[in-house]
Amino acid sequence: MYHKKRIAIAVAALFPFVSAAQNLSGVVLNQQGNPIANARVKVEGTPFSAKTNEQGQFQLSNLPIGENELHIFAKNFAHRHQHVEIPKQGLNQYIIKLNRSPIEVIDVVASPVHLSVMESATPVNVIAGETLRQQQAATLGDSLEKLAGVHTNFHANVASTPIIRGLSGPRVMIAQNGLDVGDVSRVGPDHSVSSEVSTAQQIEVLRGPATLFYGSGAIGGVVNVVDFRVPVENTTQGEWLLEASSVNDKKLAAFNLTTGSDSVAFYADAHWREADDYKVPTAEGKIANSSEESNGFTLGSSYLLDNGYLGIAVEQFNREYGIPGHTHGEVESDAEETAENVYADLEQTRIQLLSELKLANSIFNQLNIRAASTEYEHAEIENSSVGTVFENSTQELRVELHHNPFFDWKGGLSFHYKNSDISAKGSEAFTPPSESQTFAIALMEEKHFGDVLVQLGARADQVELTANQVLLPELAVHAHSDETEEEEHDHDHDNSGYTSVYRVEQKFTPVSLSTGFVWDFTPGYNIGLSVSRSQRAPSASELMSFGPHIGTASYEIGSLFNFHQHGDETHFELNQQPVELETAKNIDFTLRKTQGDLGFVFNAFYNQVDNYYYQTATGLYAEVTHDHAEETDEHNHDHEHASELPVYLFQTDDVVLHGFEAQLAWQITDEFKTSLFSDYVRAKLKDGGDLPRTPPLRLGTQFSYQTSQLNAQLDITRYQEQDKISDYETVTSGYTLVDANIAYDLSLFNLNTALYLKINNLTDSEARVHTSFLKDLAPRPGRNFTAGIRGYF
């Protein structure tokens, strides 16, 4: 990997920078003719960009003579694309006027094609800056849940993962700076995502199939956490934050700092958080084992070149969090009394190597290299002894080459390599150790045909999944029914010790294709349409699992196996059906009003997924022993508890997901803004029946008041009842959450410092999350006051 990188740098150095070109200077103004500061003017298809000063002025040099396409964007304004003809003598006094957009528009970074809430064929959310800080929570899913189309699988404050349009787990990829985050959060809802939001700069969410950009694991969408841990600038700037919350006695401190001199830039960040069990407005009082402690730091450094940068960052992330609901299948009514002290101890070390280099040759104009090596481990600890240890060792390399406009087509090629070694050892190791290796090549292109932007993409992956020790034990199972109740306890649980062992090699070649357009059919409006076909290789846990999974309180069996019933006896055996790729065919329609005092984005989608891997209840129950090492006396006594878990088998079926997201924002005055959003997804099997844990219909509204000193929001979000449920689920009641926050700018010592107060769940309502595995055990926290101070410098 490192070797390849050196070659790339050498290649880049071969092409001298073009100097025979002209200047462009001008000013960016709003519709009232006032200058806009900090607006970015970018020349499309080239690496050139400039930022406006307080007077709205900008200057670009070395531009190619002739037609250039500018992309201009600024906070609270709609992005603008403008063609400019640059004459030989250059162009001065060029005026650009931007329209207001009440919906915040931030571009997805480092993509060969345009991606933003307003401009792409596929739907995108990006949050950054103040908004990100307001919404950040201890876990990733909870931080993003106010985005349209994104729900959380709320796991009692300690772990949560985003659900995008009803899909989650192995279908939603969590990336950091475009590379797999390298944890084991995709295989268990109680496994935390090893990415910290409080030190991130921007979070990008691609809703719907995004395999084109991220590969097989992103069939349902992507969450990309962007940070500047590998610094790209040497100006000294940073951010710090201190806050405390009442509901769980949380304390958080975080900072990040970028500095440097000449051609060397440095970055450092750290965070520390500690939270106790949180209070709930229900009989439980407090949710046992929902406390958390995490800390981490990053050191990064870059070498800044004339044509880009090359940098490295090393980060350490540690987290200790409770595992609530560790009840072995039985739902305990009084969680607090019976819960054991069960927690996970997570540790991750990640090294990132990033480089973006502008090239000046006839074919390519930009080379982006991203590489990461991640060592992840988390141990589940019960009464001070280690139960199960999960490990993930991932190495990844992505090389992107953006080409010069070719017949006005802009875009790039991307090469991707990833190797992951995942293992789980211990009593709850339900998936055998496996290694997966991916090679991929992708092409993404876009072109403006007048008012229409066409975006195309294709990607082919080769995924090799190898497991040397796939185990098929003889499992004693039984059915529950009233008539057989008597008999069942007599029958001999004959789990004789014969375990079949297989070496399994899977080779997949998923292919993804996508096409779409955005048509500015009338000024200030556009419609987008995107059609895609994406494929996903099933994950190791979906194929090869065979064991108890405490996080989901079930006995999980992968689709490589099937069962057979001979009279009263049930035997598990190898499935004779071929292993299939999961294939999603998705249509997305978008209607947007991109500028003016009123803006909206409306998305509707229809996604048909063939060979959708999902767990079906077999109606069987497996007896499970579970060790709890307890020190009862000087003789170390191993105490085992047993319980039974329902057996779930991974099967494939065709499913259909359809739904919509709507966002609307109205800037009533300069200070007052109101926004509305709603999302809905219906997820059902083609042959009838609903998928489990599908988010309910949601309606949200936000009133915001903003002056230069004061910033206040009131959010009211209504979650409707969910009664479209699968066989083994129950209906979840609707609820309304009211959140408020206020921030006051102190401007102490000439620094940008703000005091803030947040109130979550103002009405102290009982809120049970339908998408949560702990729905019955852990409702959302009760009323929570958070006070904090943050500063930017």
Partner 1 sequence: MKSFQLNLLAAAVSAFMLSACGDAETTIVEQDPIEVPEDDHDHDDGYSIESAGRLAILASDSNEALIYDLDDNSLLGNFALTYSSSSLSSSADFRYALISTRAQDQIEFIDGGLWQEDHGDHLHAYQQAPTMSGYTLNGSRPTHLVKHDGKLAVFYDGNAETGEVASVQVVTDTDIANQTQSLPVLNYSVNMHGVAEPSEDYLIASIRRDDSLSTSANKVLPDQVGVYHLHDGEYEHEHIFEQSCPDLHGAAQNEEYQVFGCSDGILVTQQNGSEYNSAKIANISALDGLRVGSIYGHHELESFIGVASVHGGGAAILVHINPHDNEMETIDWQPQTSAQPLAYSFTADGEHFLILDNQGYLTLLSEHTHDDHSHWEFDSRIDISEQDIANMPEGLSFSMTISQNDHIVYIADPIAQHILQINLESGETTGEIELNFAPKAISWLGIAASEDEHDH
The yes or no reply on residue 451 touching partner 1 (CB under 8 A) is yes
The identity of residue 410, as a single letter, is K
The answer to whether residues 658 and 686 touch, using CB atoms and an 8 Å cutoff, is no
Question: Can you tell me the distance from the alpha carbon of 96 to that of 752, in angstroms, rounded to the nearest whole number?
Answer: 29
Applying CB under 8 A, among 5, 97, 585, 718 the residue interacting with partner 1 is 585
Least separation in angstroms between residue 377's CB and partner 1 is 18
- Is 221 strand, coil or helix? strand
DSSP string, 293-351: EEEEEEEEEEEEETTEEEEEEEEEEEEEEE-TT-STTSPPSSHHHH---EEEEEEEEEE
Q: Do strands 221-226 and 172-176 pair parallel, antiparallel, or not at all (unpaired)? A: parallel
Least separation in angstroms between residue 71's CB and partner 1 is 19
Stretch that binds partner 1, among 100-108, 349-357, 434-442, 498-506 (CB under 8 A): 498-506
The yes or no reply on residue 608 touching partner 1 (CB under 8 A) is no
Least separation in angstroms between residue 504's CB and partner 1 is 5
Single out the residue of 380, 266, 277 nearest to residue 319, CA to CA: 380
Stretch that binds partner 1, among 69-77, 269-277, 336-344, 491-499 (CB under 8 A): 491-499
The yes or no reply on residue 476 touching partner 1 (CB under 8 A) is yes
Q: What is the DSSP letter of 35?
A: B
Applying CB under 8 A, among 495, 562, 674, 753 the residue interacting with partner 1 is 495
The yes or no reply on residue 295 touching partner 1 (CB under 8 A) is no
The yes or no reply on residue 493 touching partner 1 (CB under 8 A) is yes
The yes or no reply on residue 499 touching partner 1 (CB under 8 A) is yes
Least separation in angstroms between residue 650's CB and partner 1 is 15
Stretch that binds partner 1, among 8-16, 234-242, 307-315, 620-628 (CB under 8 A): 620-628
Least separation in angstroms between residue 396's CB and partner 1 is 21
Least separation in angstroms between residue 718's CB and partner 1 is 37
Single out the residue of 560, 516, 519 nearest to residue 540, CA to CA: 560
Residues 388-427 that bind partner 1 (CB under 8 A): 426-427
The yes or no reply on residue 561 touching partner 1 (CB under 8 A) is no
The answer to whether residues 768 and 779 touch, using CB atoms and an 8 Å cutoff, is yes
- Is 42 strand, coil or helix? strand
Phi, psi of 555 (to 5 degrees): -100, 115
Applying CB under 8 A, among 126, 164, 359, 624 the residue interacting with partner 1 is 624
Least separation in angstroms between residue 609's CB and partner 1 is 14
Applying CB under 8 A, among 404, 469, 701, 753 the residue interacting with partner 1 is 469
Q: Do strands 237-245 and 172-176 pair parallel, antiparallel, or not at all (unpaired)? A: unpaired
Applying CB under 8 A, among 452, 676, 699, 789 the residue interacting with partner 1 is 452
Size of the site for partner 1 (CB under 8 A): 69
The yes or no reply on residue 622 touching partner 1 (CB under 8 A) is yes
- Strands, DSSP E only, in 197-236? 202-207, 221-226
Is the Cβ of residue 58 or residue 555 nearer to partner 1 in the bound state? Answer: 555
The yes or no reply on residue 458 touching partner 1 (CB under 8 A) is yes
Residues 563-582 that bind partner 1 (CB under 8 A): 574, 578-581
Question: Can you tell me the distance from the alpha carbon of 179 to that of 350, in angstroms, rounded to the nearest whole number?
Answer: 11
Positive/negative CA dihedral, 35, 36, 42, 44: negative
Applying CB under 8 A, among 164, 193, 560, 683 the residue interacting with partner 1 is 560
Q: 99 CB contacts (<8 Å, ≥6 apart)?
A: 31, 77, 78, 80, 524, 594, 595, 596
Least separation in angstroms between residue 152's CB and partner 1 is 31
Question: Can you tell me the distance from the alpha carbon of 247 to that of 218, in angstroms, rounded to the nearest whole number?
Answer: 35
Is the Cβ of residue 89 or residue 496 nearer to partner 1 in the bound state? Answer: 496
Applying CB under 8 A, among 511, 656, 740, 755 the residue interacting with partner 1 is 511
Least separation in angstroms between residue 471's CB and partner 1 is 7
Least separation in angstroms between residue 687's CB and partner 1 is 22
The yes or no reply on residue 475 touching partner 1 (CB under 8 A) is yes
Applying CB under 8 A, among 148, 456, 540, 697 the residue interacting with partner 1 is 456
Binding mask 236-255 for partner 1 (x = CB under 8 A): --------------------
Six-digit token string for 374: 């991640």
Q: 781 CB contacts (<8 Å, ≥6 apart)?
A: 157, 247, 248, 278, 279, 280, 760, 761
The yes or no reply on residue 113 touching partner 1 (CB under 8 A) is no
The yes or no reply on residue 500 touching partner 1 (CB under 8 A) is yes
The yes or no reply on residue 386 touching partner 1 (CB under 8 A) is no
Binding mask 135-164 for partner 1 (x = CB under 8 A): ------------------------------
Applying CB under 8 A, among 306, 505, 670, 687 the residue interacting with partner 1 is 505
Question: Can you tell me the distance from the alpha carbon of 332 to that of 325, in angstroms, rounded to the nearest whole number?
Answer: 8
Binding mask 519-558 for partner 1 (x = CB under 8 A): x---------x-x-x-x-x---------xx------x---
Applying CB under 8 A, among 583, 675, 726, 772 the residue interacting with partner 1 is 583
Applying CB under 8 A, among 1, 91, 454, 604 the residue interacting with partner 1 is 454
Is the Cβ of residue 173 or residue 372 nearer to partner 1 in the bound state? Answer: 173
Q: Judging by beta carbons within 10 Å of its beta carbon (0-12, 13-18, 19+), is residue 568 exposed, middle or buried?
A: exposed
The yes or no reply on residue 642 touching partner 1 (CB under 8 A) is yes
Applying CB under 8 A, among 419, 515, 616, 706 the residue interacting with partner 1 is 515
Residues 81-100 that bind partner 1 (CB under 8 A): none
Single out the residue of 139, 548, 153, 482 nearest to residue 327, CA to CA: 548
- Is 23 strand, coil or helix? strand
Is the Cβ of residue 297 or residue 519 nearer to partner 1 in the bound state? Answer: 519
Using alpha carbons, list the distances in angstroms from residue 427 to 234, 268, 302, 548. 49, 39, 44, 8
The answer to whether residues 740 and 717 touch, using CB atoms and an 8 Å cutoff, is no
- Is 144 strand, coil or helix? helix
Positive/negative CA dihedral, 28, 29, 35, 39: negative
- Reported as type and span, the H/E element at residue 214 is helix 211-214
Q: 703 CB contacts (<8 Å, ≥6 apart)?
A: 672, 673, 674, 713, 714
Site residues, partner 1 (CB under 8 A): 426-427, 449-452, 454, 456, 458, 468-471, 473-476, 489, 492-511, 513-515, 517, 519, 529, 531, 533, 535, 537, 547-548, 555, 560, 574, 578-581, 583, 585, 622-625, 627, 633, 635, 638, 640, 642
